[in-house]
Amino acid sequence: MRLEKVIATALKNAQDDHYVLSLMVAKRANELSEGAEPLIKADKNIQKLTDIALQEIAEGLITLDRIIEE
């Protein structure tokens, strides 16, 4: 999927709010850096953690409710 489409889809899953999306990406990227396993097929040693987080959000695997609860 093209990056523009990933971002647009992730933004929809973040209530069309750029600030909320940035918080979701930052929180998930932090979790990944602390040892959490990606929910998608990805290699943390090759891909940027923020790209993995964006893809997870775009696919609906990471939701705003999940981020708020933690």
Domain that holds residue 46: 3-69
Q: Give the residue among 35, 6, 31, 33 at the shortest CA–CA distance from 21.
A: 6
Task: Give the pLDDT mean for 50-64.
Answer: 94
| pTM (predicted TM-score) | 0.89
Interaxial angle between packed helices 3-13 and 49-58, expressed in degrees from 0 to 180 and rounded to the nearest 10: 60
Tokens of 56: 């997870």
Tell which wins on pLDDT, 59 or 67: 59
- Separation of alpha carbons 28 and 39, rounded Å: 11
Number of domains in the chain: 1
Q: Are 5 and 49 in contact (CB under 8 A)?
A: no
Please report which helix (H) or strand (E) contains residue 64, including its range: helix 64-69
